[in-house]
Amino acid sequence: MTDTVRSRTAPAGGAAGRAGWHRRTGALPLAYLAAIVVVAVVHPALPSWRWLAIHLLLLGAVTNAIMVWSAHFTTAVLRCPVPGRRSGAAVRLAVLNLGVLGVLVAGTTDRPWPGVTGAVLVFGAAVAHLGWLAARLRAALPARFDITVHYYLAATAALLTGVPVGAWMLVADDDFRPRLLLFHAHVNLLGWVALTVLGTLLTLWPTVLRTRMADGATIAARRALPVAVAGLALLGLAVLAWWPPLAAGGLALVATAALITARPAVVAARRRSPASFPAWSIAAAGGWLLVALAVDAWSMLTAADPAAAADRFGAVLTPLLVGFVAQTLLGALAYLLPMALGGGPGPVRQRTERLDRRWAQRVTMANAALVVFILPAPPYVRITTSLLVLAALLQFLVPAVRILLTARRRP
């Protein structure tokens, strides 16, 4: 299983080129995460700091990580030759990040047109990524884990649906806006992010645990994908038309898909218990996804109108963004970066140990603080718990940046 993640088709000299590529691209999500820390420190001076932090995480850190690592896993599971040059991927990332910059400028300066231009660039990068994925899938021989690439295709299609709606929101300000917000948030979070995570964990989860894949895991992944896509389609239509029971039904289907893929993951964890930061971070993230979906369904069913549901969505965003998205991102990077930077077993083990230091304290502190934060509590308690979550992020970010800098100095 480890070989599947690492790809066994690298040409001579390919390992060094692959390590250099991941050293450069690995800096992208870390830079956006560092920007979130800065926003947290100076947020009293930023009127749109919540919006900015959300988009730094989702559009910046997560989208860059998905673009890079979904290409990596596609090459691995389809057993494609590792490209000697990555000029196409570099152009896609450059266009993506120019687009992200435009969106961030628009959101913080209340100037919509840089955001619309940025959204067009993000859309173009996503179209190119979708074309690349489809071309790899068409050219490949049948592969055991090709369902992972189908998850990536569906996730990218969701992003291509959500981005134009986000651009529309930058210039529209009418009674329909709450429905657009709900559509944009759900399609991007549960489509672009959650589908990518479910597809990747098919092979990544047992690799992180250092055990073999559970029997039936691939079958479960194939069954879950159409359920999740149907749930997203139903959810999207329901929030636009404002049919709360159908929206809750769509969320239930997404939760069902997550549970279908969770069953073989639990079997693998019973065979070899999680004992590292990546494993426990990813496991905790899965729990928070189910919590967020339940809160979301309750919020939809009890909201009087779309505006009320949009106002309540903040209660869903915290467990979804911090509990699910951020923990999945940190856990995946903590496992993948040490391996991708290469150098042999010794350096890989050293990097892994650095990112694993005090993992039990970090995971416990972050998740306990998040539980307290989402419960009714005085302001000073919420401030304290948010600082603890920020401290857990820094405990990952500082050694991760040092690892990249150290790898850059290696001959």
Q: What is the DSSP string of 315-328?
A: HHHIIIIIIIIIHH
- Torsion angle in degrees (nearest 10) through CA of 195, 389, 396, 318: 10
User: How many Å apart are CA 48 and CA 313, to the nearest integer?
Assistant: 17
User: How many Å apart are CA 37 and CA 401, to the nearest integer?
Assistant: 14
Confidence of residue 8 (pLDDT cuts 50, 70, 90): very low
Confidence of residue 6 (pLDDT cuts 50, 70, 90): very low
Whether pLDDT at 2 is above 70: no
- What pTM does this model have? 0.93
Whether pLDDT at 365 is above 60: yes
Whether pLDDT at 385 is above 70: yes
Task: List the one residue out of 145, 142, 137 whose CA is nearest residue 217.
Answer: 145
Whether pLDDT at 7 is above 50: no
CATH number at residue 100: 1.20.210.10
Average pLDDT for 39-56: 88
Number of independent structural domains in the chain: 1
Q: Do 216 and 10 form a contact (C-beta atoms < 8 A)?
A: no
The DSSP symbol for 188 reads I
CB atoms under 10 Å from CB of 173, counted, come to: 9
CB atoms under 10 Å from CB of 359, counted, come to: 21
Residue with tokens 């690799």: 207
Confidence of residue 408 (pLDDT cuts 50, 70, 90): low
Range of the domain at 127: 2-409
Whether pLDDT at 82 is above 50: yes
Predicted confidence at residue 188, as pLDDT, reads: 94
User: How many Å apart are CA 74 and CA 72, to the nearest integer?
Assistant: 5
The percent of residues in the chain predicted with pLDDT above 90, rounded, is 73
Q: How is residue 278 written in tokens? A: 């990546």
Tell me, what amino acid is at 49? W
Predicted confidence at residue 10, as pLDDT, reads: 39
Predicted confidence at residue 216, as pLDDT, reads: 93
- pLDDT digits over 113-135, tens only? 888 899 999 999 999 999 999 99
- Torsion angle in degrees (nearest 10) through CA of 336, 405, 53, 393: 70
For residues 4 and 82, the model is more confident at 82
CB atoms under 10 Å from CB of 353, counted, come to: 12
Task: List the one residue out of 107, 118, 110, 122 whose CA is nearest residue 51.
Answer: 107
Q: Do 125 and 100 form a contact (C-beta atoms < 8 A)?
A: no
Task: For Cα atoms 51, 322, 217, give the angle at the middle one, nearest 5 degrees.
Answer: 125
The CB-side HSE value for 90 (13 A sphere, CA atoms) comes to: 9
Q: Do 345 and 298 form a contact (C-beta atoms < 8 A)?
A: no
- Torsion angle in degrees (nearest 10) through CA of 246, 248, 253, 255: 170
Lowest mean pLDDT among 202-206, 284-288, 383-387: 383-387
Q: How is residue 233 written in tokens? A: 């389609």
